[in-house]
Chains A and B, each alone.
Chain A
Amino acid sequence: MALLEAHGVTVSYGGLHANDQVDLECEKGTLVGLIGPNGAGKTTFIDGITGFTPIAAGRVTFDGQDLEGLTPDRRAHLGMSRTFQSLELFEDLTVRDNLFAAAERPKWHSFLRDIIQPGANERQYVTQVEWAMELLDLADHADALPADISHGQRKLVGVARTLAARPRLVLLDEPAAGLDTAESQHLGQQMRGLLDEDISVFLIDHDMGLVLSVCDYIYVLDFGRIIASGTPTEVRNDPIVIQAYLGEEAGEAQARDAEAVRGLTRDGGSSDG
């Protein structure tokens, strides 16, 4: 059984199906990518899986457990954590405290110990927070506020915050957006490194280079539907993907070339576009 399984996930906003019958699997120990043009419903899919958006139909399981009815924080406790495209860091906390806030799993009485014996509760989380900071080279900025570090570093804080809880699966929503090529490559290596730490990765990104180079398996989403899936090589050569994705994202010339075939395939692919 795969770590994360989504069957027929449908998310609707009003009459619009932002996700329509999405089937997706993420095996343990793999790095799975989800790509698709703007507005394809990638972030909606993560929102649906992590409990931020109600799922109209379909079933999601994590490690065999049905996620229906679980709040986002319960899902995080199961070992599934996510980043946000817009970062959403805790701006009032230092980088280290951002990580600690996500790492700690308090009991209802933890506050009493915090009051009487400050510092006792966090001891058990120090290693994993230090590990996450080391992994993303944030140790130098541990005591800085998020507002005082660069955009690239803020991105890394977002990723580190999900890792600090030692999840089994991280869902990264465009972690490379706004990073330059070298930073993006480095991030790719770091993500591959996570697999060795027993953390599976689910990656959404626009950076085709990054996705194609690091992922083990790729799903392609367009207009809320999965239109293709396969290994990076298969996806790269899939004509439907080239039309749907590269046809819009790439330069004018490619767009003109794709225009000829577009009309033919689109009719069957998605009528609501």
Chain B
Amino acid sequence: MSEIFFFLLLGLGMGSLYAMLGAGLVVVYKGSGVINFAHGALAMYGMFTFDTAWNRGEFYFPWRDFLPSHDVNIPVRITLASDGSWPMVPSIILALVVAAVLGLAVHFLVFKPLRNAAPLGKVVASLGVALYLSSVALLNFGNAFPIPKSIVPSDPIHNFLGLGRTYPSNTLWAIGFAVVMGLGVWCLYRFTTFGLATRAAAGNEKGAVLLGYSPQFLAAVNWVIASVLATAMAIVVGPLQGPITPMGLTALIVPALAAALIGGLRSIPIAVAGGFALGAVRTLLDIKKQDWFDGPLLWLQDGISQSVPLLVIVAVLFLRGHSLPIRGSVEEKRLPLSPQPTRMLQHAAVWIVMVALLANFWQNAGLRTVFAGALQTTLVFSIIMLSMVVLTGYIGQISLAQMSLCGMAAFMMSRMMADGLPRGSNLVPVGGPNFPWPLAALVGVIVAVLVGLLLGLPALRIRGVQLAVVTIAAAIAIQSIYLENDELTKLRAGVPAFIKTPTLVGIDIGARSGRFQNERPAFAIFLVVVLALVAYAVSNIRRTGTGRRFLAVRANERAAAAAGINVARTKLLAFGISAAIAGIGGVMLAFKQVEVSSANFPYLASLAVLAFAYLAGITSVNGGIVGGFLVAGALIPVGGNYLLSDANLEAYAVLFGGLGLVVTAIIHPSGIAPFFAGAWRVMGNWVCRMTPGAVTLRDGYGGQRRRELSVVLLAMWVGAALFVYNATFIEPMHWRIPLTMLLLWIATVIAATSGRYGPFSPNFAGARDEWASWFRRYGAWAGVGYVLGWLIWPLRVDTYSKLYMPLLGAGLALFAQMLYMQTRSGEPHDEALTDAEAHADELEFEEVD
């Protein structure tokens, strides 16, 4: 008994950090109505600032110069002491000042502009801040994580309280600090005018304004208090938990949220007490788990202490979910509209042509490999993003555990495929039923759905932001209870799970080539097919009753219930569908990785997925797909990397993601997808116009045949791209393009005159005229662009293909011309564009009756 008591006392050390962070969350919530997911990150940045100043004599600004040049550079690092160590007291002061400035910056740059935004907007903005700070910290402070020195005496106290054990004295200091600071803050809010005003503003913002208080000023002060407190506490407690990592400190948000929720987001003393209790229980479980969780409970041994915050959060939210304060703010905005998917085939055409071109763009074998890998990453993450579109975009629920669901599916599939033979780096055989891959994948997806439904249960009781809190805690619990749990996965520590290569009727559709590179086109095609099916399903959901009910629930749960919609079942359905898509994404990710480990599915990746989906436009299918292009390792960062001469943009993907998320949340909540939708329309027209004559030929056909011809056209384009790339036998390279055009033309004619489509179209002569007029109208532009491209190519001769640079030039020239015509006329229905519109209509998917 005294042993347990002692371990509980020991845990108060960590508890003091939870307590202070929890109190900080309450302070921020009172001050500005934001549940600050970046609170751990704020403490982390301050802590690292202190540590690098004191131990390395350096100071890093919270930003990066991502394009270092020889001439103009943004200051990032300041050397404080050339001997590598700055005195302690100035270091502390510096860290606290940095914390205060960060708090102010976060308030004024992020949450003040967002004060009237939808709750989801505030959540994603705070996630953006967290992602930004943690990735900046990784880049600035490096990933050699120090064990920080303690600023308070850390001599052991022998025979502490007569319990016969040795207690570290710095824990006592930490507890003392937390109690004193907690009391101080409590007094501040209880007995001063400032505290009274803050409480008044939290209750009724408008009323506070009328009484002459500026809520924004109050909020700013509260942000500073919370940020400084968190940093101070992290400096004192930091050394207690071993090496400090940006991730680890950022993840402190979860127990801190639990503590804040225990205090009902209202009471600082209860939050502090809750934080202490949480730390004590967790430490106790950490030490005693080997004794207590054995035999039938062995499977809980690894994850139990990490799951305590989840249990606490769920319990608190279920017990007092309705009594948590909701801030009476002046006006709340809704999530951006979710556009109805239209012209689906046109969109698909553009996407597929783009992907096919990108995949074949790079002549240099090394780059082709890099880009083929990036393409695979892109497609996998597009699938995962679509799960967010259903859940957040359509029905307005937040899940920060999507990657954990992916992980469940991937691990489960691996297990179902296992056959007891050693494979890959897993030399200790894992037993399993040896299912074929489709069955194993199905089992994985079903498990993901079950876990997803479980995640959705709290959504029946609680909404929005609080749900985000539950799911982030659940993500950490899933990670520690299942993904990292040797007992359940049967993997020996640190060894990844092996995934067998998928085959389709005997054809290898795996991701890796013979030289272990993610470059096999077969897998990319597999991914495109899966992505297309998922995107089609997600579009269909939006266009039909299921989506209407989702959006109805998102808009107004009361009215939805009055209209006969079962809100609870609808929400669970959304969670289920979303989890199924995430599961499919996880399975595909597993196929791509070949060996998966829990490191592939960290909770932070879930945040990044939400970030990129929101950034791209979480309410539309296009947004989901664009989101996949943005993640680290996907086409846009990799391509940007290449174009900006190896600026290592990939390392900045999360940083940009966080920053972009904040900016998007503030200035353009519907994300960048609407822009893409517009650009796609123009590009879709452009692709159509690049096949002169086709439309005239098809004018004689209608209905089904018209649609078939659209597909034939599309196939011809993809074929042409492949042909130009591979036709190395045509030696004078510049003949390849005219030859391809000729082949395209012949193919069009054959398609139009084949038996399937009857005799020559009566419009055949018209088609020839169109062909000629196309050249008259665009030939000059294309030619100029081609020549320009040809002139430029020697600059990057090592990498750019001699062929594609001119083609790219021609393409860009045509695109520019089109944009020019559009802007000049000011409206899309310009004379020059009307025929393009007509072409575009050809590719349009006919309305489903």
* Chain B residue at smallest Cβ distance from A113: B544
Contact-residue size bin, chain A (C-beta under 8 Å from the other chain): 35 or more
A111 in complex: contacting residue of B335, B541, B560, CB < 8 Å: B541
The CA of A254 and the CA of B515, in the complex, are separated in Å by: 95
Is the CB of A127 closer than 8 A to any CB of chain B? no
Cβ distance B559 to chain A, nearest Cβ, rounded Å: 4
The CA of A102 and the CA of B548, in the complex, are separated in Å by: 9
Residues of A within 8 A of B560 (CB): 73, 90, 101
Residues of B within 8 A of A50 (CB): 562
Residues of A within 8 A of B556 (CB): 88-91
- Over the window 452-496 of chain B, the binary record of Cβ atoms lying under 8 Å from chain A Cβ atoms (1 yes, 0 no) is 000000000000000000000000000000000000000000000
| A111–B546 touching, CB < 8 Å | yes
| B544–A118 touching, CB < 8 Å | yes
The CA of A88 and the CA of B552, in the complex, are separated in Å by: 10
Contact-residue size bin, chain B (C-beta under 8 Å from the other chain): 20 to 34
The CA of A122 and the CA of B577, in the complex, are separated in Å by: 20
Cβ distance B584 to chain A, nearest Cβ, rounded Å: 13
| B338–A76 touching, CB < 8 Å | no
* Chain B residue at smallest Cβ distance from A164: B563
The CA of A183 and the CA of B334, in the complex, are separated in Å by: 31
| B544–A119 touching, CB < 8 Å | yes
| B564–A102 touching, CB < 8 Å | yes
- Over the window 38-81 of chain A, the binary record of Cβ atoms lying under 8 Å from chain B Cβ atoms (1 yes, 0 no) is 00000000000011100000000000000000011100110001
Q: Name the residue in A89, A97, A110, A115 with the highest tally of chain B Cβ atoms < 10 Å from its Cβ.
A: A115
Is the CB of B1 closer than 8 A to any CB of chain A? no
Residues of A within 8 A of B337 (CB): 92, 145
The CA of A88 and the CA of B559, in the complex, are separated in Å by: 6
* Chain A residue at smallest Cβ distance from B336: A92
Residues of chain A in range 105-149 having any CB-CB distance to chain B below 8 Å: 105-106, 108, 110-111, 114-116, 118-119, 121-122, 145
Residues of A within 8 A of B546 (CB): 106, 110-111, 114-115
* Chain B residue at smallest Cβ distance from A51: B561
| B562–A81 touching, CB < 8 Å | yes
| B540–A118 touching, CB < 8 Å | yes
Is the CB of A82 closer than 8 A to any CB of chain B? yes
Residues of A within 8 A of B545 (CB): 100-101, 104, 106, 110, 114, 121-122
* Chain B residue at smallest Cβ distance from A116: B540
Is the CB of B567 closer than 8 A to any CB of chain A? yes
Is the CB of A3 closer than 8 A to any CB of chain B? no
Is the CB of B324 closer than 8 A to any CB of chain A? no
Is the CB of B721 closer than 8 A to any CB of chain A? no
Residues of B within 8 A of A154 (CB): none
B334 in complex: contacting residue of A92, A114, A119, CB < 8 Å: A92
Is the CB of B554 closer than 8 A to any CB of chain A? yes
* Chain B residue at smallest Cβ distance from A105: B564
A52 in complex: contacting residue of B551, B558, B569, CB < 8 Å: B558
| A72–B540 touching, CB < 8 Å | no
| B577–A111 touching, CB < 8 Å | yes
Residues of chain B in range 533-555 having any CB-CB distance to chain A below 8 Å: 537, 540-541, 543-549, 551-552, 554-555
Is the CB of B849 closer than 8 A to any CB of chain A? yes
Q: Given that A111-B541, A114-B540 are known contacts, is A89 also in contact with B558, CB under 8 Å in the complex?
A: no
Residues of A whose CB lies within 8 Å of any CB of B are 50-52, 71-73, 76-77, 81-82, 84, 88-93, 97-98, 100-102, 104-106, 108, 110-111, 114-116, 118-119, 121-122, 145, 161-162, 165
In addition to A82-B562, A119-B848, 13 A-B residue pairs with Cβ atoms within 8 Å of each other are A76-B564, A81-B564, A84-B558, A84-B562, A88-B558, A90-B548, A90-B551, A101-B548, A101-B560, A111-B541, A115-B544, A118-B544, A119-B544
Residues of B whose CB lies within 8 Å of any CB of A are 334-335, 337-338, 537, 540-541, 543-549, 551-552, 554-556, 558-567, 569, 573, 577, 848-849
- 17 example contacts (A-B, Cβ-Cβ < 8 A) are as follows A50-B562, A73-B562, A73-B565, A76-B564, A90-B551, A90-B559, A93-B548, A93-B551, A101-B548, A101-B549, A102-B563, A106-B549, A114-B541, A114-B544, A118-B848, A121-B544, A161-B563
